[in-house]
Structure 1
Amino acid sequence: MTFPQPQIIMSQKLKFGTDADLQEILAAEQELGAINTDAGAEAYAGMEGLEAGKVVTGKISQVNDQEVLVDVNFKSEGVISRNEFKDDEVPEVGSEIEVYIEKLEDEDGRLVLSKQKADFVRVWERIHQAFENNEIVKGTLTKRIKGGVVVDLFGIDAFLPGSQIDLRQIPDINALIGQEFELKVIKVNKARRNIVVSRRVVLEEQRNSQRDKVLENLEKGQVRKGIVKNITDFGAFIDLGGVDGLLHITDMSYKRISHPSEVVKLGDEVEVMVLDFNDKKERISLGMKQLRPHPWKDIAARYPEGMVVKGKVVSITDYGAFVELEDGIEGLIHVSEMSWTQHVKHPSKILAVGQEVEAVVLKVEEEQERISLGLKQLEEDPWEQIDKELPPGARVVGEIRNLASFGAFVEIKDGVDGLIHVSDMSWTKKINHPSEMVKKGDKVECVVLAVDKEKRRISLSMKHLTEDPWDSVETTYPVNSEVTGKIVRLLDRGVVVELPNGLEGFIPVSKLTAEYIKVPADAFKVGDEVPAAVTEIDQTNRKIYLSVVDYFKNRESAELKAWMESHKPGENGTTIGESVKKSKKSEEESK
């Protein structure tokens, strides 16, 4: 058998091929150790009918580490390099072997033979036919080289580029060594003994065939198996057999997941349900969680109210913490349900993501898929026995925790606050703001007025520590009795004076002096002490009316005259009495 004139047979560029693919193939040929067979050189006639370029049968006569000697009935034995035998081929003396005659004589006068070229010639026609007819052939991957894999094809080496091994990138090519696959011959070069094969072509054809079949039978609600082809932040693309569908992250599991890689891995075979697709079936939506029972079904029976449950904190918001009780079931511990005793400003002050916690089921709403949980319910409610511990009239000592315009909040015990309303701070004083009486952090004694356990409110009082002076005001200050008070407020219609026991009395402007004054400020100032007589007690409105004029009715006229003299409108807002005192003082100083 002789080779024809040199020729190179190249495949057409594959429909999915790129220039980069072809460059990869060409580069890999060097790695395979392509040998120019000089097959086109004219074979010259040799002795005994042998000539270069022929394939003949010979018998192995000798074997050593470097060479194998073969008797082909020539004047001398032919020599074959031991490297031409594969690892699993053991040349035995006496066995017959087909060889290719490369040279009748080398520099040493020896007949040069080749086993590999004989193998190539023997299977060339079969390979060429497979290439021409686009046939599928089987080959075994034998070793990895740069750019791809060496394939044993009918006993000779062919090259399988890395880009032609599969439809997608193979994570570990070494795992494929030793396996047999269906392939197609996509490039042959007889002169250089190069054969390039592709598994990808076979898979593409199979996928296209499967795609048509899948699309034809695709229906909503179908359960199919597929391979995870690609993973993104929002989901995974599943190859259903030539057609891809999207498995969105929200349809992977009923439980909370941060990334699709928590559920699927590249190359995994998964079972999915067809949820939806468009008219042309170009966009297919898939689901995995739909294959399992809905976790919220019969949830109320599994988690009755009052049940103590265990779970893991999976998320924290400003208003509470979500606890995973099982896959797809989360309950909310609202910030208000975290502590009886602490004012929790943010859930992170109590809980942390990943923390295992126990909680009590407070409420289950199956349709809304909501479970309300409580943390503080694991402990005794300090308000439960509060009405027995703090009955009305009980005296308590607490710390001022906060001040408001209407009163002061007092912490009586852990988690229990009471309110001292501004009106309950003093029997006698008009308090505009609680800061006039107390400040934050003060320890105060007070009396329990009322307890509202349902609304969790306790009313406290400071003034009830003493008797109400108004209960005995008619005895203390009977009408016509005489008193001395200090002016604390100036009004347009009169003055308010503070009496010795803390009560306040009112003197109308007409009762301040016998002479006419427009407003009290014309003749009086805050701090002035004034004598007066009690003219009226208004027990209902808690008011005492006084009169300076009535006080002087039974006095000597000289006393009245002196009073009036000292309380006339003066310059710069001072009284006549003050002006007289200043005048006398300046006269004495001048002397």
Structure 2
Amino acid sequence: MVITEDEQVPNHATKSKQSSKLAFLDESDKVVTLDELKEESEYSPDEYENFIKLYDDSISEFKEGEVVTGKIVAIGEKEVSVDIGFKSEGIIPIDEFSDPEELKIGQDIEVFLDSVEDTDGQLVLSKKKAEFMRNWDRIVASYNNDEVIQGTCVRRIKGGIVVDLGGVDAFLPGSQIDVRPIRDFDAFIGQTLDFKIVKVNELRKNIVVSHRILVEKELQEQREKILANLQKGQILEGTVKNITDFGVFIDLGGVDGLLHINDLSWGRVNHPSEVVQLDQKIQVMVIDFNEAKDRISLGLKQLQPEPWKEVDKKYPIGTVVKGKVVSISDYGAFVELEKGVEGLIHISEMSWTQHIRHPSKILSVGETVEVKVIDLDVENKKISLSLRALQPDPWDQIEEKYPIGSTQKGIVRNLTNFGAFVELEEGIDGLVHISDLSWTKKIRHPGEVLKKGEEIEVVVLNLDKQNRRISLGYKQTVDNPWPQFSDTYAVGKRTKGKIVRMIDKGVIAELPDGVDGFVPITHLAKENL
């Protein structure tokens, strides 16, 4: 039977068209019109209406957005055909299946009815959406029941981490990861943790989770247990939570304690970061706490033996040891002999011979030096050290080298109001008092006679070995002229002189032979002077 265009034209035009077309048809073919076809229908109008109703009812049984069960009827390379009992089969891309090799014809699967009919009249199904909806329902049920759910941290995003809750992504804010500040979010990627769902948005299908809530609950239990059993001298394990200039805050498990910089080590610590690092787990001792137990003092060095207990045996007086210079001050240098044991090299013990203005001139921080223990005070934890004690003391032979009355050569190193310091050898200085500069002149300042750096001859006048002092004389290098002057300048003799200085009570006159004479103002011949 062939249906022609006659079904689409008016009746009055069909006769001419039918006659022309019948000429070209076989006798076995019969051409009918739409009207004739209707007349030959097998169903009555009531039956037809019944079928239409049944079809509409079958469609109404399927609602878009629902998860339904279907049967696999065909498996292709790129897609899977599924029969859900609808008028047509639905197609699902094969990449929506996690294990396509395991699929079998006739297998029942759950699918999501995305659309009853797309633009091509095709039933649209999704396996992934079905899994998502089932997981979503499971997660919402956990949220409603206030249950703990497991998830895996999969990737980092701005402000937090995306967590896979078994097919549904959730957002874990950075502030909800832990009670401690998290510096490296990437360290959590790949970890499976327990979470509490704190927010669900049904419309946007968004979920917010928290791990911190569970940690806080656990820490609260630990805190109560720790505080109940807290005792002085107790050893606890904690985590370095924060580092400051004055110490370290330790998380003991819901309870924070302060490890002061002085209790980090028996040795010198410039900054706590030299000893501990953030997030480091360490054992500490409870030193003290207040009545409310909200201020806990901790110690780290207390877990090590107190080094000063054996100091008198390790470093008796006279022992030569090596140490590291750890600090330099104006008065000396501190040397670390071992962790917690330091000694002082006073500036006066640095050299027998050199005039050291500051210890930094011969020592530097970090330098390893060899020193000699010259004094020990265990009770006050003080050790006196010496650098110069390792060398012979030049003063031991001072009397033999510079006997009293001997003439020596030296260099004028310093001039003062009361005299001049003359270096006889490196480290051995003597003083020429201003009164020992000249037999004949009244010297007001040593600079009138000597110059700094000048090499001169001196006579050793006195030695004080105990106080390390040498008295020298400059005028003593020549004979005392005064015995002769008693004749030259006898009372009543006339002589010429040159006024060199005027003072309140008269004038100073320079006489022949370099002798100064004094003329009282009452003996001056000139009037009105």
TM-score if structure 2 supplies the norm length?
A: 0.78
Matching residue of 1:14: none
Matching residue of 2:10: none
Pair 1:150-2:196 in alignment: no
Matches within 5 A, 1:476-495: 477=487, 485-486=495-496
Task: From 189, 205, 215, give the equivalent of 2:201.
Answer: 189
Structure 1 position 446, deviation (Å): 1.2
SS across alignment from 2:134? helix
Provide the rounded CA distance (Å) in 2 between the counterparts of 1:168 and 1:438: 75
Matching residue of 1:90: 99
Matching residue of 2:268: 256
Pair 1:62-2:68 in alignment: no
Matches within 5 A, 1:48-127: 51-52=63-64, 53-59=66-72, 61-62=74-75, 64=77, 68-72=80-84, 74-81=86-93, 84=96, 89-92=98-101, 94-95=103-104, 96=107, 97-127=109-139
Task: From 123, 128, 146, give the equivalent of 2:140.
Answer: 128
Provide the rounded CA distance (Å) in 1 between the counterparts of 2:208 and 2:509: 115
Matches within 5 A, 1:20-419: 46=58, 51-52=63-64, 53-59=66-72, 61-62=74-75, 64=77, 68-72=80-84, 74-81=86-93, 84=96, 89-92=98-101, 94-95=103-104, 96=107, 97-419=109-431
SS across alignment from 2:140? helix
* Distance 1:380-1:356 versus aligned 2 partners, 3 A rule: same
Assess if the C-alpha contact under 8 Å between 1:45 and 1:51 holds in 2.
no
Structure 1 position 45, deviation (Å): 5.6
Q: Which amino acid aligns with 1:198?
A: S
Structure 1 position 389, deviation (Å): 1.7
5+ long unaligned stretches in structure 1:
1-43, 510-517, 524-569, 574-591
Matches within 5 A, 1:465-504: 465-469=477-481, 477=487, 485-486=495-496
* Distance 1:58-1:173 versus aligned 2 partners, 3 A rule: farther
Matching residue of 1:519: 522
Structure 1 position 503, deviation (Å): 7.0
Q: Which amino acid aligns with 2:113?
A: I
* Distance 1:445-1:204 versus aligned 2 partners, 3 A rule: same
Q: CA RMSD in A?
A: 3.4
Assess if the C-alpha contact under 8 Å between 1:61 and 1:71 holds in 2.
no
Q: Which amino acid aligns with 2:75?
A: Q
SS across alignment from 1:409? strand
Structure 1 position 414, deviation (Å): 0.8
Matching residue of 1:557: none
Assess if the C-alpha contact under 8 Å between 1:495 and 1:520 holds in 2.
no
Assess if the C-alpha contact under 8 Å between 2:442 and 2:516 holds in 1.
no
Provide the rounded CA distance (Å) in 2 between the counterparts of 1:74 and 1:326: 88
5+ long unaligned stretches in structure 2:
1-55
Q: Which amino acid aligns with 1:287?
A: G
Assess if the C-alpha contact under 8 Å between 1:116 and 1:156 holds in 2.
no
SS across alignment from 2:248? strand
Deviations 1:207-254 (A, max 9, x none): 112211111111121111111222222222211111111122222222
SS across alignment from 1:301? helix
My pick for the range that moved more, 155-164 or 338-347, is 155-164
* Distance 1:200-1:466 versus aligned 2 partners, 3 A rule: same
Provide the rounded CA distance (Å) in 1 between the counterparts of 2:130 and 2:507: 133
Matching residue of 2:17: none
Q: Which amino acid aligns with 2:447?
A: S
Assess if the C-alpha contact under 8 Å between 2:151 and 2:193 holds in 1.
yes
Structure 1 position 392, deviation (Å): 2.0
Structure 1 position 411, deviation (Å): 0.9
Provide the rounded CA distance (Å) in 2 between the counterparts of 1:180 and 1:491: 102
Provide the rounded CA distance (Å) in 1 between the counterparts of 2:267 and 2:287: 19
Provide the rounded CA distance (Å) in 1 between the counterparts of 2:484 and 2:276: 86
My pick for the range that moved more, 270-279 or 258-267, is 258-267
Provide the rounded CA distance (Å) in 2 between the counterparts of 1:71 and 1:92: 19
Provide the rounded CA distance (Å) in 2 between the counterparts of 1:322 and 1:60: 90
Identical aligned pairs, as a percentage?
Answer: 54
TM-score if structure 1 supplies the norm length?
A: 0.70
Assess if the C-alpha contact under 8 Å between 1:149 and 1:162 holds in 2.
yes
Structure 1 position 181, deviation (Å): 0.9
Structure 1 position 83, deviation (Å): 6.4
Deviations 1:264-305 (A, max 9, x none): 222111211111221111111112111111222221222222
Provide the rounded CA distance (Å) in 2 between the counterparts of 1:388 and 1:59: 119
Assess if the C-alpha contact under 8 Å between 2:235 and 2:284 holds in 1.
yes
